[in-house]
Amino acid sequence: MKRPINTPSGLKQDVYGAIIALVLLLSHAFAASSGKPNILFIFSDDHCQQALSAYDPERITTPNMDRLAKEGMRFDRCYVTNAICGPSRAVIQTGKYSHINGFAVNGIVFDGDQQTFPKLLQRAGYQTAVVGKWHLASTPQGYDYFDVLVGQGPYYNPPMKTTDENGKVVTREHTGYTTEIITEKTLSWLKNGREDDKPFMLMYQHKAPHRNWEPAPKYLTWLDDVAIPEPETLYDDYATRASPAYNQAMEIKAHLNDRDLKLTQPRNFTPEQLAQWNAAYGPKNEAYLKAKPNLSEKEIMQWKYQRYVKDYLRCVKSVDDGIGEVLDYLDETGLAENTVVIYASDQGWYLGEHGWFDKRWMYEESLKTPLLVRWPGQTKAGSVNNDIVSNLDFAETFLELAGVPVPSDMQGESLVPILKGNTPKNWRDTFYYHYYEFPGGHSVARHYGVTNGKQKLIHYYQTGEWELFDIEKDPNELNNVYANPEYSSIVKSLEKELGRLRKQYEVPEEDPDFAEMKRLARERNRKNGA
Ligand code: SGN
Ligand code: CA
C-alpha cells in the first residue's frame, strides 16, 4: 500500500493537494484583481504565415499555435519595419524604427543602454525574463533572468549565455535539441524562477525555423511520404520587376548549399545524434544521388524544394509542440487566466514563393509576420483583425497592458484598444518599411517603401528604381505597374505619403556607415572575448 506523505495536519495527500491547488488559484486570482496581467511573448525566427495552419492549413497543422488563434485574435496584417532578425528584435525592444534605435543591420551591437520596454516593466514591478534566441550581440539589459543562445545558435547542443549565482555572465554547454532545450528552460523558469507576488513578462524565443532547418530526432522522417504543394510563383522569372529581384542570391534553384539540403553531415552532433541523422537522411540521399544524373533541371529544383520545405516544416512542428507544453502548464496552474499570450516571428519568409528562401524584401511574404494574441476575458475568441499593425507596436502594447505610460518618443501604437475590439478612428492606414543590409547575405538591395494594404510603392534608392504593385488585383506581386499610366495618380499619392512618413519618423537622408559599425562591433566583441 502507498504510504500517505507527511502533511502538516496529517491530512490525506489528496485533500492536501486540493488545498495547495486552491491556494495557488486564489493567489493567481489575487494577481488578476491587481489588474496587472502576466505577459508571455512567444517568438520564433523566420516563421511565415504560410506555415501556420490558423493562417494557411495547406502545408502543416500547428494545433497549439492555432489554439491561440481560436481563443484569441489573429492579425492578418502585421507588418515588420525591416524584415531581418536583429533589427526586428531591436524594434521590439525599443518601439522605434531601426534608424532611431541604431540597429539597422545584423552583425552590429545593440545599444542596450537606451530605453527599452523590459526596463520600463521592471521599474513598474514586473519580473522579466528572456530565454532562447537574442541575436543582438549585447548582454540583455532589463531582465531579471536571461538564458540566451550565443549569436544564431546551432539546432543541436547549443552553448547559452546566462548569469551564475554571483551574477557573473557565463556560457554553458548543453546537449540536446535546441528547440526542446529552450522550452525546458522556459518551463523551468515558470516553475522555479517566478516570484508569486509579481506579475511577469517572459520572452520565450525560438531559433527555429531559421536556416539551415535541422529537424528534431523525432521528426527526421516525418512528411517523408507526402508531397508539399508548390507555391504558384515558384518559377517566377521576375519579368516586369526592377533589377534587384533578378540580382538577389536566395533562389532554391541556385543558392541552397549541401548543408541546407542535408547532403553533408552536421558538424557538432554527438555520435548518437549523428547515427539517428544518418539513419534518416542516408537512404533518402542515396536514392536522390542515384537518380540525379537522369533528372532534368526542373526535377532537381523540385527535389530541392521538397527537401527544403519539409525540413522547415519539421522545425516548425517542434516549435508548436513546445508551445503546447507551455500552454498546458499555464492551464494546469491557473496562470492562463491572467496571462496575455502573444505569438509572433521576427518577420515572414519565402517558402518557395518567387523561387526563394530567406526574407528581407518588402514583398508580402516577408513583410508580414504571424501575430496571434490570447487575452482571456478581453479579446474575443476566434476574432480576426485586418488593421495595419506592426512589430513597432509591441513595446507600446506590453506597456499599456502593464498600466505603464507609453513614452512619447516611442513610434508605434499600443494594440490594446484593438485587442478589446475597438480600433481607434485615427488608426494608421499606411505603413513605412526600410531595409538596409546591402551589401549583405542574399544580396537584397536597400529599399524603402509605403503600403496601404491595397497598393505598395517600393524605392530601390541605390539604383534609383521603383516598383508599384496593385496587391488587390495582383496579390503575388508579379506585375510591377509603376510605369503604367493608369496608375500615375496612385504613384503620385503614394510618393507623397512616403515623404510624409519619412518626415514623421525622422528618417535621415543618408544611411549610417554600416561597414564602420560592423568594424566597431568586431572590435568590441574581441575585447569582451566573444
Ligand atoms: C545566416 C544565414 C542567412 C540568413 C542570415 C540572417 N546563413 O547568415 O541565410 O539570411 O543568417 O538571418 S546560414 O547558412 O548561416 O544559415 S537572421 O534571421 O539572423 O536575420
Ligand atoms: Ca529571422
Q: Are strands 383-385 and 127-132 parallel, antiparallel or unpaired?
A: unpaired
**Of 348, 460, 440, 432, nearest in space to 108 by CA:** 440
The confidence score (pLDDT) of residue 2 equals: 35
Ligand 1 atom at shortest distance from the alpha carbon of 357: 9
Report the DSSP beta bridge partners of residue 127. 200
What's the gap in Å between 430 CA and the centre of ligand 2? 24
What's the gap in Å between 10 CA and the centre of ligand 1? 59
The confidence score (pLDDT) of residue 32 equals: 44
Whose atoms come closest to the Cα of 349: which ligand? 2
Distance CA 425, CA 428 (A): 9
Ligand 1 atom at shortest distance from the alpha carbon of 257: 14
Give the CA radius of gyration of the chain.
Answer: 24
What's the gap in Å between 262 CA and the centre of ligand 2? 21
Whether ligand 1 lies within 6 angstroms of the CB of 85 is answered as: yes
| pLDDT averaged over 10-residue windows placed end to end, the chain, 530 residues | 38 52 48 75 98 98 98 98 98 98 96 98 98 97 98 97 96 98 98 97 98 98 98 98 98 98 97 98 98 98 98 99 98 98 98 98 98 98 98 98 98 98 98 98 98 98 98 98 98 98 97 90 77
Is the CB of residue 193 less than 8 Å from the CB of residue 199? Answer: no
The confidence score (pLDDT) of residue 10 equals: 40
The confidence score (pLDDT) of residue 367 equals: 98
Whether ligand 1 lies within 6 angstroms of the CB of 106 is answered as: yes
Shortest-distance Cα residue to atom 5 of ligand 1: 441
The confidence score (pLDDT) of residue 11 equals: 43
The confidence score (pLDDT) of residue 9 equals: 43
The Cα angle at residue 295 between residues 293 and 296, in degrees rounded to 5 = 125
What's the gap in Å between 445 CA and the centre of ligand 2? 18
Ligand 1 pocket test: pick from 134, 152, 251, 349 the residue with the most ligand atoms within 8 Å of its Cβ. 152
Is the CB of residue 480 less than 8 Å from the CB of residue 468? Answer: yes
The confidence score (pLDDT) of residue 524 equals: 82
Whether ligand 1 lies within 6 angstroms of the CB of 211 is answered as: yes
Q: Where are the domains of the chain?
A: 1-33, 37-217+304-417
Whether ligand 1 lies within 6 angstroms of the CB of 441 is answered as: yes
Report the 10 Å Cβ neighbour count for 181.
23
Distance CA 235, CA 353 (A): 8
What's the gap in Å between 486 CA and the centre of ligand 1? 40
Whether ligand 1 lies within 6 angstroms of the CB of 364 is answered as: no
Q: What is the pTM of this model?
A: 0.93
What's the gap in Å between 211 CA and the centre of ligand 2? 9
What's the gap in Å between 106 CA and the centre of ligand 1? 9
CATH number (3.90.1150.10, 3.30.700.30, 3.40.720.10, 2.160.20.10) of 37-217+304-417 reads 3.40.720.10
Edge-to-edge strand order for the sheet containing 160-163? 169-172, 160-163, 145-149, 127-132, 200-205, 38-44, 339-345, 371-374, 73-75, 383-385
The confidence score (pLDDT) of residue 381 equals: 98
Distance CA 269, CA 277 (A): 9
Whether ligand 1 lies within 6 angstroms of the CB of 133 is answered as: no
- How does DSSP assign 25-71, residue by residue? HHHHHHHHHTT--EEEEEEESS--GGGSTTT-TTS---HHHHHHHHH
Cell of 523: 572590435
The confidence score (pLDDT) of residue 329 equals: 98
